């Protein structure tokens, strides 16, 4: 196996500024990184915001993540949340710090533009987020659905929070996410 060439500094760009070839490369990376378990809804969730992309010196995409805006109600206030999506590192480049580079760029965007940052972590990704100071939300997680507020117990324990402009969030009060197709979180 050929070693992965060194990676460059992450580049950030809005979805609207990515070319069709770049979007295809991102989708291919995500399909590969998630072993084909990255749905069309998952793909849609990662679009419409700011992407952090890392290419190696040969110009190949090796890492990606995006942050999109979501509305989340907490304590009777709707927060503007930077929600992290589609974080992936090419399998042959994992455990080399690329995930941290991507997250640093996304956190910079969140800290300057959103009330808070949130994400839903896979078992594989949880250690990265915890090491970067993200905390597991210890309160209830809900979503606003067609029938009103719906409790999402399966999302509890995997939802991570990064308070930013809004300051600390109180887990005595639930988080109510806006609804979306596919996985709500």
The strand ranges marked E within the chain are 11-14, 50-55, 61-74, 77-89, 116-120, 135-136, 141-145, 148-151, 159-163, 175-177
DSSP codes of every residue in 79-110:
EEEEEEEEEEE-GGGTTSSHHHHHHHHHHHHH
The candidate with the shortest Cα–Cα distance to 120, out of 76, 155, 72, is 155
Question: Which phi and psi angles does 171 have, rounded to 5°?
Answer: -65, -5
From the centroid of its chain, how far is CA 12? 14
- Position 177 scores a pLDDT of 97
31 near 86, Cβ under 8 Å? no
Q: CA-CA distance, 71 to 185, in Å (whole number)?
A: 12
Q: What is the pLDDT of residue 69?
A: 97
DSSP state of 154: G
| Model confidence, pTM | 0.92
Please tell me the predicted confidence (pLDDT) of residue 146: 86
Domain boundaries, the chain: 11-177
Please give the pLDDT value at position 121: 94
pLDDT at 175: 97
For 72-109, the pLDDT digits (tens) are: 999 989 999 999 999 999 999 998 899 999 999 999 99
pLDDT at 3: 55
With a cut of 50, which residues of the chain have pLDDT below it? none
Domain 11-177 has what CATH class?
A: alpha beta
């Amino acid at each position: 196996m050929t070693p992965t060439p060194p990676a460059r500094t992450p580049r950030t760009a809005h979805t609207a500024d990515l070319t069709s070839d770049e979007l295809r490369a991102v989708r291919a990376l995500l399909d590969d990184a998630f072993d084909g378990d990255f749905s069309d809804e998952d793909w849609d969730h990662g679009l419409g915001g700011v992407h952090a992309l890392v290419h190696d010196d040969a110009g190949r995409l090796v890492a990606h993540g995006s942050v999109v805006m979501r509305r989340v109600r907490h304590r009777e206030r709707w927060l503007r949340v930077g929600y992290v999506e589609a974080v992936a590192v090419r399998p042959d480049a994992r455990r080399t710090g690329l995930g941290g580079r991507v997250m640093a760029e996304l956190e910079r965007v969140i800290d300057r533009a959103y009330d808070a940052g949130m994400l839903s972590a896979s078992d594989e990704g949880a250690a990265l987020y915890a090491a970067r100071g993200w905390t597991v939300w210890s309160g209830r997680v809900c979503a606003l659905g067609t029938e009103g507020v719906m409790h999402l117990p399966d999302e509890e324990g995997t939802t991570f929070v990064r308070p930013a402009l809004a300051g600390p969030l109180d887990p005595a009060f639930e988080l109510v996410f806006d609804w979306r197709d596919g996985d709500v979180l």
